[in-house]
Structure 1
């Protein structure tokens, strides 16, 4: 924009008034009336200020204009102007200029700019909604200048009446369908037209959409929905209908909900029941049609009642127990088993599990004077116990001569006394029963829960055919790799859950070998609801990787088993692994810092952990394996505290070149991934080195989450700026230098695992308290055998003291897990001694294992540890 500048030198001052303090306005803006689209210029001059800051104001607001011009009229005499090239209606208003001097503000006189042109609307007609044939009014207002302004209405394309002065109100007697309207404003300059409004007829609303469940806690289900077309009228309420399908009736309660919000929580629903819900919304006209039915199933619960009519039949060889089955409404879930507990002489015996509502026990004599109770169990837990029943021989078997009636009376009195004492003991222990069964313990060692084999209570069930690899949709190469490690599922008995991930769970188990010995193992079980052959093949590929691993710091494969499910085409794969007594390294580190009984981990011990992991990763890299998920949570601690690299769910074998490119989007451990992997989805052994550096940081911080305070979405920007993990407190500089070298932005500048093994080995030897000879880090005897190791009696060294302390690491931890996570369907080694079918006690592993594991309580610290990782990783099981 070109500006015309000129300088006018005035020798005489304008006879303007003095503002005070020597500041005088010698020129004031003047009132101006201009036609729309023309240029306008306002002027203002002030004297008595050196280089003043003159500000233009409009209607009390400061103007920020590039068209403002400053002119020098003389020493301490200045003039400014404000111009608008093309005036519009919004430029009309009151203008003045201000100047500040010594903290005071001085103002010029005020002037008006009046814009002449076609009328502009200060109130345009708005949309309306009404019932059919109901009168309503429309309003329109327009102003000049120039005045006067006349308004003319158009309704449905037809002119209504004659022009009239502004403002104008149009009375409409009523319409029976939607119609458009607008008004015209006319003055001497021309005509302008308002917005077009619509008169809507109120109608019924449309059915709500997107009905869904947004929360399900116990038996409380929260529904949400979105309203459909409202019918040009606000919705006041919505009607929620709930329908329950039962064997006896259909319930159709109706609930009225005030809206908004479009949300409602259904309470008082039955457990393990099928429900359907639908919603209708109401406006002034009436109710909308109902939305489509939403079908859902409430979760299971423990049974609400105890089995009734518990009876027995006792002989010298057998004891038979019978009881009535629970009704569906009482069961509140799918029956897994009946749990029978019994006491003799006030001592609790091992509980038994039975699939049917009867039990047949051999050796009837040993049950004389025993008290029995039974409870029904679902996947959530066991319900209340039945009243205790005392087992006594039938009176018909006792023949008393008439001459010795008094002897019979004495015997009866004695038996009644004993029965009363037993009932008192049972009643006392009954008081300690909880929702999920009996909580009392014997005075001695903790009572363990055992069970009989499935065949002992399911004699009429036909055994499922043994699964083979030929029945899976996997390639021949993978099938040939796994043939020699296939284990019959009859040789496995599952115990309690050790961990749970996105794709399945890890459970304790017992494996019976060919020489009839029993070994404790860990079993990774794929989720029962995963039926895709691709997911099964991915699980078996992990096992195929591990089959070829033979290194003390890499977890080894014991075998693969296939569990056949009734009615399912594909079996569930189970990967059998060694049982790692101390669990994963991350949880162990957390326990050392946050457990109920914290313990110290020496720097020598922590460096040993790092050395073990680096040796395992060196072995994997030599096999051309990229782990892609190296972290403390995926490293396991065996009995002698040696660390083994585990969890190869994301691993890939490099068949050519030296990198692997991730071809699809998947959840990955963001805070452990190298910079180039985040940018380009490229994974190499060098990206595993990056993850190893993060794992070293986890070890030195005793299990803290990396990059505290940095969100996953911010990690890439954080790293690309050159930021890295800070040095942990009490971390030596040489250790931090090693881990920091793993985070070089240039992959080839990072150390190899071979170099890391050498550096950490040298560091570990230098930290050894005595001989640098490599011995197992710690040996923790958790079995309580009390055996000695090493030879000769001598004073314990620092490492042995650490080993002694470590013997307390596992025991409270292990016992706590067994107590809190104990599944009442735990396998017992004693089950192998009685022979027979070694299937899972509850039949198909799929749903039962998932449901029982998914609802089992967990150790608080392990739950905290998993919560820290959930935002960053997918735990592949």
Structure 2
């Protein structure tokens, strides 16, 4: 609407207008910015600030009364960074109409920031290639200076800049500097790699099931070139080794199902992988034996010899390939007078049974058995003396006639019974003796019961909540009618509300046991409901075994309230939350793997970070254990989707889990995937201490000062050194020096599947995107070397600023990680 829309509200005798609008501001990076807005014509209006079309949520927003129905509010940023630049305005809603103020821009001036950093390059020797680097202000212009192998390449040139390199013979480091009149920023350090042959695959292993054999392996060093295929060579060992043809496999995934293998046979396998340069050496042969199976055929040529005192049975033994395993015994099954007798077992392919006369008219079958089971039965053989065969044929014809006659009698009897039953039913319900007249009977089934003394509540819909259209559309297809949910006892209670056991009636009338997260009952605004349902919207698209999945959303209608209570329906987790399980595990003796718990959490967080989700509340209490003892990351109440960049700045002071929060988040409320990595390190510590509270003896209010002095959580008792090294790397004071979740998954997989790895080499070159290595603040003084990146560079002039926003080596500045701001408030 226009700035002053009175005509559309004449029926209310009101006039809504903005008396103050936000103004354009140009602010230097690190300084404060403040935008103001005032509206007249409403009593206690809900004024909302907008940035680039998105609502800015804040629970500490203040309103100042300027007069009757005249209100003013402000939006403040304490320390402006590049991500705060954008278009701002304020809105107020009245009777489904939106009134907007004028729009203003915040422009941030500071050192250049990179929009395209240096990326690693893989190339063949002496082949030309290009390097690209781009940075922007304001202020403009921005110039780029290239450094290749510690040597300056040419003069500064305007951004964006492309450096053409004629070719190199060896691996070389490079980076670029971006400079404007505010200072210098340094990009991450890239590496030019020379493509070589890949290394042989590692960790070749065989997985066997009842139906097939699967070969899997891990790729070795890729040679700085993507692997395209792998060659699988298979050999069968009989009297001599018999090599089978190569199988070419497209990768990834790095596995191959091996069809057509014979059961209980000896095989060998090895693998070689191929990149642009060529094929790697083969890995060592892996010897394995396929599992046993039941014999594939029945014993042949079953014959008998009958005498007065003995019955001799003989049959042909099976070949090794027909047995498909190690022969345990031959099983002989026999029937006398139509009655099955106790089976007999024989080691050899013959049997001698005493008392030949007692086996007249006896049927015999034989089957071969391995440890897996018995194979097919041979055709039955009937034991008769030579003179009795003709008599047996005649008796067989007689029995066939008797059986056919009995079958006809049974069918006729069943038909007569069905007709009599139908006639009796019609008489009982009045169909056979229907009275004359045009009156017709009506039958019905009661679908629902109701109470005449109480008005029945209708199912709530998302339209009644007043939430935005995007959120409503995301949740529409997972909305579950309230009548299908039966709430049970409470499983847990917190500040947001409670979690209750429940039973969900599905479309096929089956009942599913679920957990229902119910928002507290004193909610009064659509904003509270919208915040709750945003968690469900995040979970709707999650599909990963280590991330809890949404079943649906339901709305509990309240008789005297305008808004229903949201209920988020989740899978029922048999073993509850991980923290409680760890505490109880101190008393029990049930075996389980703490490393497996940590690996499950890292895999779930890797999936979330790949989908640009910042959790912000990762801890053992927010991880759940299902019936298979698999950990699922849960509780996304504080989660945020990153729509641009890699940060999220909390816009309000709220109650936060201080002992799990990263150093930079405590300082200025900036949250990134790297701050989730910090929380993961604390969660690892929780797991290894069986649920102990972090920083024992340190109060919440003392945590920031404790960390700023360089202190960290101590190594838990009985914790392996290599596991603590992974944990400690998550707590680097420089966020981008922490490992990514992808790297953490790889490291924990190695720790789970093998012995402790050998010590790593000293980390000589570290940058904002460092990969692996020990924590730089742990290095000994004698290991420290002057970083060649600093030689001849003007970056030393910039290091005096905020280390989090100006690139450089991964080491904390002198005097601690960062200075604490006086106006940072954390509720504990």
> In which range does the TM-score fall when normalised by the shorter chain?
0.3 to 0.5
TM-score (norm 1): 0.40
| TM-score between both structures, scaled by the size of structure 2 | 0.42
Highest CA radius of gyration, 1 or 2? 1
